[in-house]
């Protein structure tokens, strides 16, 4: 494992260790992010902080020789039950992303995202499995200026809510 990969893993573990102390919800998910160059994949931490209307994510992905660390913030604009018979819900929102890729050259990109998701709540609303697809478009500013920088990440995961969502 190279130094960049180790540094990324250490940073992710530090974030994962401190987030639960200030969270309304915390969870893990796996992200696959197809984009113009093939895409990346990797684990991610998801959390909702008290008093802030955004659901945050921090992910670590691998794409060939590129290792990247990303951050997302999404606000749910629509979050409704599909049927009264099941705890299944759907939602739509907007958000932002920022990524830094580390390989032979450092890459930096940021932009907007539009999450569409399915989720459900179990155990009195404390466990939330979810599946989301998030079309995203932005701009890459390093190593060269590039627009559009796009991806369509797909995530599957689970959040634990300390209070009702």
Name 64's Cβ contacts closer than 8 Å, sequence gap at least 6: 38, 103
Nearest to 58 by CA among 67, 71, 41, 42: 71
| Residue, of 127 and 6, whose pLDDT is higher | 127
- What is the rounded end-to-end Cα distance, in angstroms, of the chain? 39
Which domain covers residue 137, as residue numbers?
Answer: 3-161
Q: What is the pTM of this model?
A: 0.81
Structure confidence at residue 134 as a pLDDT band (50, 70, 90): very high
Q: Domain holding 66: CATH number?
A: 2.40.160.20
Task: State the pLDDT at residue 57.
Answer: 94
What's the structural domain count of the chain?
A: 1
Strand partners, 105: none
Q: Which residue has the higher pLDDT, 131 or 14?
A: 131
What per-residue confidence (pLDDT) applies to 45? Answer: 93
Distances (CA, A) of 44 to 15, 33, 88: 11, 12, 23
Res 81: pLDDT: 94
pLDDT in tens, 80-126: 999 888 889 999 999 999 988 887 888 899 999 999 999 999 988 88
Parallel/antiparallel/unpaired status of strands 107-113 and 88-102: antiparallel
Measured CA to CA, the distance from residue 20 to residue 15 in angstroms comes to 9
Residue range 41-48: mean pLDDT, rounded: 89
In the chain, how long is the greatest CA-to-CA distance?
A: 53
Residue with tokens 């987030």: 19
From 64, 74, 65, select the one nearest 130 (Cα to Cα).
Answer: 74
């Amino acid at each position: 494992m190279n130094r960049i990969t180790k540094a990324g893993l250490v940073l992710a573990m530090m974030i994962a260790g401190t987030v639960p102390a200030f969270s309304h919800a915390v969870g893990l998910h796996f992200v696959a992010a197809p984009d113009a160059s093939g895409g990346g994949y990797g684990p991610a931490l998801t959390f909702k902080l008290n008093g802030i209307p955004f659901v945050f994510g921090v992910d670590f992905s691998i794409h060939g020789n590129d290792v990247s660390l990303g951050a997302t913030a999404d606000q749910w604009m629509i979050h409704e039950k599909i049927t009264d018979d099941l705890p299944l819900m759907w939602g739509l929102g907007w958000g932002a992303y920022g990524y830094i890729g580390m390989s032979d050259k450092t890459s930096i990109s940021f932009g907007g995202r539009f999450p569409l998701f399915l989720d459900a709540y179990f155990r009195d609303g404390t466990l939330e499995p979810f599946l989301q697809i998030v079309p995203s478009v932005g701009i890459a500013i390093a190593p060269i200026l590039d627009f559009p920088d796009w991806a369509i990440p797909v995530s599957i995961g689970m959040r634990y809510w300390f209070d009702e969502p």
